[in-house]
Amino acid sequence: MNYKKRIIETKITKKLKGKGAVLIEGPKWCGKTTTCEQFAKSSLYMADPTKRMQNIQLAQMNPSLLLKGEVPRLIDEWQIAPILWDAVRFEIDHRNEEGQFILTGSSTPVKKDDIFHSGTGRFAWVTMRPMSLYESGESTGEVSIGDLFSQKENISGTSKLTLNDIAFLTCRGGWPKATFMDEDASLEQAYDYYDSITKNDINEIDGVIKDNERVKRLMKSYARNQGTQISLSSIKDDIVANDTESLSEDTIYSYINALKKIFVIEDVSAWNPNLRSKTAIRTSDSRYFIDPSIATAALGLGPNDLINDLKTFGLIFETLCMRDLKVYAESLDGNIYHYRDSSGLECDAVMHLRNGDYGLIEIKLGGDDLINEGIKNLKELNSKIDTTKMKNPSFLMVLTAIGDYAYKNEDGVYIVPIGSLKN
Average pLDDT on 328-341 reads 97
Residues of the chain with CATH 3.40.50.300: 8-127
- Which of 407, 180, 402 shows the shortest CA–CA distance to 417? 402
Q: pLDDT confidence of 109, banded at 50, 70, 90?
A: low
* pTM for this prediction: 0.95
Please report the pLDDT score of residue 251 as a whole number: 87
User: Mean pLDDT over residues 370-393, rounded?
Assistant: 97
pLDDT at 121: 86
**In angstroms, what CA-CA distances link 22 with 11, 206, 295, 313?**
10, 24, 30, 37
Burial label for 117, CB within 10 Å (0-12, 13-18, 19+), is middle
Closest among 191, 217, 172 to 320, alpha carbons compared: 172
Distance CA 185, CA 209 (A): 30
- Which residues make Cβ contacts (< 8 Å) with residue 61, sequence separation at least 6? none
> Stretch 259-271: mean pLDDT, rounded?
95
- So what's the pLDDT on residue 108? 62
Taking 60 as the threshold, does the pLDDT of residue 21 lie above it?
yes
The architecture that CATH gives domain 8-127 is 3-Layer(aba) Sandwich (3.40)
**Cα(128)–Cα(219) distance, rounded to whole angstroms?**
22
On the CB side of 112, how many CA atoms lie within 13 Å of its CA?
2
